[in-house]
């Protein structure tokens, strides 16, 4: 810094170097060089702040409070970085903002999604024209605090470009052992950022570097069920939208049935971002009527929705479409939350094998081949598949799909086609299938349950290995649902088809199946032990003890 001041004092104001040095010194002067003040963390205040802005999410709030409690006890600013993972619109950014408010710190957010140049993080060297510091130093300049809260939004969407790897640049930023001497390329001197509280957000963990994940404390946020969205709408969203559009003084209310219809028919999603958008649109329509001095409903009813928003966008058509032979309804988990997955199977002319459409990934293709091989072996009827091939299609062809959890759904669609019998209605299923018929564990169970509930599916077939995950899901999410844990595909078949239909399958298989997994079989009652038998048993026990 002293060297730069000396150069500045001798520089000619008419040269380019003069402005470069002056800009550099201005940036240095604007940084918070003083030690960060000691801030007391008030857990009660933190809890009230989180409760004020967010409904439910008790597990998430508890994790955050535990994290803050440890920070308070250690009295050490260094520590783990929080990573909030969940579908869009569930409140990740607002939770980060609430954490900053609860800690009494300033908040700075910037998105790293699509970032390809590591200079965005670590700055450009001063040899470049128009060079500036990176986002981290810029955040400290703006907040004027060394212990601010910085949110790294959409960290799962980082890219690698010819200018470097931003994910690798973040390693130095987020590593507590390195960020005490963080060196921005523009400043070219060490700056202590260990007091900064970093929070990152992501929709999925799949695309995040394992090295980065090791430095973070992961907190999962799940999608909301309809009941939760109704409460969020009534307590937060409706007031916010009215105020935003200047309609608060007119005392407009929303009937509860209309709220449910708005959620189910106009904004079917995991979060509430789309719900806010359609509500905003509805209130703007009312605002026009107010300005024109036309009549408008003081209490919005279900019948008013079509007037203001048009024909409903979402229906339960997938449930209807899954009620014909060759179809089955699966449950999927994507970066935007849970979803239902209709799978269709059809016989077409060919020389055996399987034709796949619907933009399926490599893993899903392999799952379909496993499902076909297993069902062929199960039916023991080669003539069904001779001179014919199966066309397997997953609708919504513009959306990429991948993962192994559709295995039992694909097998069920193929079996339904082969038996020319539709599966029982109301079932949604998820589970990876092996060649031997075992059903393996899957991920995202809560998201899948929420998706099923959203479209009116109340019977869920899931892997027995996920039983522990089901028990961790709150009861209010599982309310009104029926769950069927399975460890083999034979159990799935018994749930989806009548016994008369199942008995047409390979007879030896059916006889074996009845004795293993038949859920309708009755256990023989235990025989009562008579008094004479009890005396005989006690004598035998006494004799055994004497021998010892």
Q: Point out the residues that are catalytic.
A: 405, 448
Q: How far is CA 187 from CA 15, 123, 264, in A?
A: 21, 8, 53
Q: How far is CA 297 from CA 310, 312, 473, in A?
A: 16, 20, 40
Alpha carbons 415 and 420: distance in angstroms, whole number: 8
Candidates 356, 394, 390, 359; CA nearest to 373 is: 390
Q: Which element (helix H / strand E) includes 465?
A: none
Q: Which residues of 27-54 are buried (b: 16+ CB within 10 A; e: fewer)?
A: bbeeebeeebeeeebeeeebbebbeeeb
Alpha carbons 139 and 146: distance in angstroms, whole number: 10
Q: Give me the long-range contacts of 338-342 (CB less than 8 A, separation at least 24).
A: 338/223, 338/270, 338/444, 338/446, 338/447, 338/448, 338/449, 338/450, 338/451, 338/452, 338/454, 339/451, 340/428, 340/451, 340/452, 340/455, 340/457, 341/394, 341/401, 341/406, 341/409, 342/318, 342/394, 342/395
Other C-beta atoms lying within 10 Å of the C-beta of residue 195 = 19
* DSSP code at position 476: H
Q: Is the dihedral of CA 410, 413, 414, 415 positive or negative?
A: positive
Q: Is the dihedral of CA 128, 133, 134, 138 positive or negative?
A: negative
* DSSP code at position 497: S
Candidates 417, 497, 450; CA nearest to 430 is: 450
Could you identify the residue written with the tokens 């997955």?
341
Number of helices (H), then strands (E), belonging to the chain: the values are 24, 18
Angle, helix 256-266 to helix 273-291, in steps of 10 degrees: 120
Alpha carbons 275 and 264: distance in angstroms, whole number: 10
Query: How many angstroms separate the first and last alpha carbons of the chain?
Result: 88
* DSSP code at position 105: -
Structural Rg of the chain based on CA atoms: 31
Q: Which residues of 333-346 are buried (b: 16+ CB within 10 A; e: fewer)?
A: bbbbbbbbbbbbbb
Locate 229 and state its tokens. 């969205």
Cα-Cα-Cα-Cα torsion 390, 396, 399, 405, nearest 10 degrees, comes to -60
């Amino acid at each position: 810094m002293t060297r730069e001041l000396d150069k500045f004092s001798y520089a000619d104001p008419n040269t380019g170097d003069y402005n470069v040095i002056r800009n550099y010194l201005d940036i240095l002067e604007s940084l918070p060089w003083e030690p960060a003040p000691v801030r007391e963390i008030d857990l009660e205040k933190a809890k009230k702040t989180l409760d004020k802005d967010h409904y439910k999410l008790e597990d998430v709030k508890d994790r955050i409070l535990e994290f803050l409690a440890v920070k308070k006890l250690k009295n050490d600013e260094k520590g783990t970085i929080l990573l909030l993972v969940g579908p869009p619109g569930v409140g990740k950014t607002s939770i980060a903002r609430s954490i900053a408010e609860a800690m009494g710190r300033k908040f700075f957010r910037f998105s790293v999604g699509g970032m390809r140049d590591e200079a965005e993080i670590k700055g450009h060297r001063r040899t470049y024209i128009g060079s500036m510091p990176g986002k981290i130093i810029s955040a400290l300049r703006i907040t004027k605090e060394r212990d601010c809260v910085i949110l790294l939004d959409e960290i799962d969407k980082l890219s690698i470009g010819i200018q470097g790897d931003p994910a690798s640049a973040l390693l130095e930023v987020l590593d507590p052992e390195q960020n005490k001497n963080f060196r921005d390329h523009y400043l070219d001197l060490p700056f202590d950022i260990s007091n900064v509280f970093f929070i990152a957000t992501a929709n999925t963990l799949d695309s995040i570097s394992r090295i980065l994940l090791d430095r973070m404390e992961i907190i999962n946020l799940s999608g909301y069920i309809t009941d939760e969205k109704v409460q969020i709408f009534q307590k937060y969203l409706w007031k916010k939208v009215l105020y935003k559009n200047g309609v608060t003084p007119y005392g407009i209310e929303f009937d509860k049935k209309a709220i449910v219809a708005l959620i189910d028919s106009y904004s079917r999603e995991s979060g509430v971002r789309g719900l806010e958008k359609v509500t905003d649109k509805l209130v703007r329509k009312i605002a026009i009527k107010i300005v024109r001095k036309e009549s408008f409903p003081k209490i919005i009813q279900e019948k008013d929705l079509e007037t203001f928003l048009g024909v409903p966008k979402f229906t339960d058509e997938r449930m209807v479409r899954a009620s014909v032979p060759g179809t089955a309804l699966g449950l999927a988990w994507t970066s935007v939350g849970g979803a239902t997955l209709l799978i269709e199977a059809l016989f077409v002319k060919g020389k055996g094998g399987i034709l796949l459409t619907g933009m399926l990934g490599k893993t899903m293709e392999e799952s379909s081949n496993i499902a076909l091989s297993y069902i062929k072996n199960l039916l023991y009827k080669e003539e069904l598949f001779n001179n014919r091939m199966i066309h397997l299609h997953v609708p919504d062809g513009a959306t990429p799909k991948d993962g192994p959890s559709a295995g039992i759904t694909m097998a069920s669609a193929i079996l339904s086609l082969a038996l020319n019998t539709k599966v029982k209605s109301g079932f949604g299923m998820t589970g990876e299938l092996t060649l031997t018929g075992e059903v393996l564990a899957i991920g995202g169970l809560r998201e899948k349950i929420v998706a099923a509930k959203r479209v009116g599916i109340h019977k869920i077939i899931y892997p027995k290995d996920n039983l522990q995950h089901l028990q961790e899901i709150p009861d209010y999410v599982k309310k009104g649902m029926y769950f069927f844990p399975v460890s083999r595909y034979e159990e799935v078949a018994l749930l989806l088809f009548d016994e008369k239909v199942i008995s047409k399958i390979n007879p030896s298989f059916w006889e074996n199946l009845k004795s293993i997994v038949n859920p309708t079989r009755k256990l023989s009652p235990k025989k009562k032990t008579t008094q004479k038998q009890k005396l005989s048993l006690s004598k035998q026990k006494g004799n055994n003890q004497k021998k010892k």
